[in-house]
Structure 1
């Protein structure tokens, strides 16, 4: 058996503590799988005094994570501090510069600096592994890097944020408003005190940018993602979705189009019979549509043990000497993404309108849709009904909302039709527009 693989871990929060505990617990099994023992020999975190419920007696304490990254007594540097900039960035750069393999769960760092870090790893001939950065315990990075190399991928999409999925699931099942559900999520630890990064879609966008690069061979392009969060979703939208045969999920979607790669994050209507529509609570799911196979992977997208599982799998790959280019292709082979503008997006739409109650309104709606070559699959009018928690303007407004389901059309056509209706003076408030995603 080879020499011990000596691991240094920077960051001992929920995930870091779980990594230490699981490596110690599965010592013999990991050694058999890796062909060599794996030991955590050095750690770094903000506080030495905090009780993390783990045994650190066998590890040296290093106050500065950058110093740990340069430590000649470790073989692999595990970055679990988080954040797109220093100290995480400086520590990872230092480890790579010293020829050490790096394992990280830091999607923000990779979304901002992934290609540059990958280039450093390639130059030194070391691994930069980041399975835990996307979808927690779901092995989607390894699937894209290794298992689907014989495929041409057309679309990758998924539920990539457990906080949003939990909130939308609770809202749908219990008929409660976003505000109340968010408070519950914060109380239970599923949402941060400042939930902006999650509920406004930025966390999903960071993860999507990495999946896009892996799937399509492009440079990471977070700025090219169209992003919408879930704050605008009302209980009436979820009830209408159920009635019409859909569920609402916050999806990150990347797909090939004639205009380039389309990247978008937004609430989405998904037919109830599709597997990803049935993924509820804090679970994540990633679906991959390729020419040879279609896959849907489901599992815990966060949490100490789930994320630690992915981190440890990356460490075992390092111990085995298994290394591939971080983004499958060398950085020099990654192409600048050709962004497909959202105005050219094609698909079905759910449109909820609050309209004035006067003769000719329905005719005007139909006319504006027809003028923009938008065909309607259905038109529904229902009273919104009561809502628990928070306020729902759609429930209080009179008359009842008008709901339109369109056949496939373009984003630009929908926006033109709605702008014309607003000019006509028949709309009360902003329309709710939710895209429909079908296989």
Structure 2
């Protein structure tokens, strides 16, 4: 599966700061020092309705991570998946009378278009669940043969009790996990499971649903969590720098994935940091496909809104915050974009050297994009009142905003 084209990232003078970021597993900020190649895995979409502002906010956060690392002169090895076979996708296809593969391909293509328009840097590896199945089957077989998985009426389940570190990612107690498991795709009430929290690794073929050859597992399809584990281990290995996604993935998805990988390898941790973006709401409710209260990037683009303004709207909120998408948030972003473009259109201006460092420091401090925007606002305000004689300043500001914030002025 191919990703989307990369926009050029301008080089800035000097060097960026090491990233200090909130780690869900420890509950505090940690400073990441990845070495010459930073490794990041971000969970991708299930392509039955893409791309709403909640998606965009999440991928914007991890785009900032890439840009901070690139500014430190590191390479970035970024991997993202596409869950192109799963119950919600199949259910939507049946509801709409569509072929599930055509639905997945169409929505994935739209996602690529949105990511391109928003100037999100693409992953080096963009992998679909279906294409990962040949690598998933042997992992499930290894878990079963090691006693970390068991058969239940043809389905294969992972035994969470085999991982001594289970629970360390989310920090939740058993009752909270059970409630979230039922809400987020698990089946804690199924009779016969060793532990209600045990997640499915391999679903035996069901009538009328797609299935693949699972070798000794029998025909079926993979569970949600093992998909990402197989892809991450194949392309990044254990102990990569960041596992990322929305905050609703901390449990069960990232918790289960970490346990799968740790049981497979005997190593810990799966990722050095677990980083989660907040939820975006609309009219007092979390924006979600199940509720149908979605604002789509493609629809806002069709209304004639500059994608740079959409990106500024996302950047105006701290990535870990839960926040509301409103007409005013977008209107403020449109106005900010106009002010910034007017400021950099002048032939000279106040020195921007300090601005570069302010933006770098803000983003290195747990991706504080609102503080970064405020720094550019201050420079633009000075440009409008005091002027300046630095002929290179407007160009430096443009490059800084492009390189670190992904906004083209």
Instruction: Name the TM-score class by shorter chain.
Output: under 0.3
Higher RCO, Cα 8 Å, sep 6+: 2
Structure with higher Rg: it is: 1
What's the TM-score once normalised by structure 1's chain length? 0.22
**Structure number with higher strand proportion:** 1
**Structure number with higher helix proportion:** 2
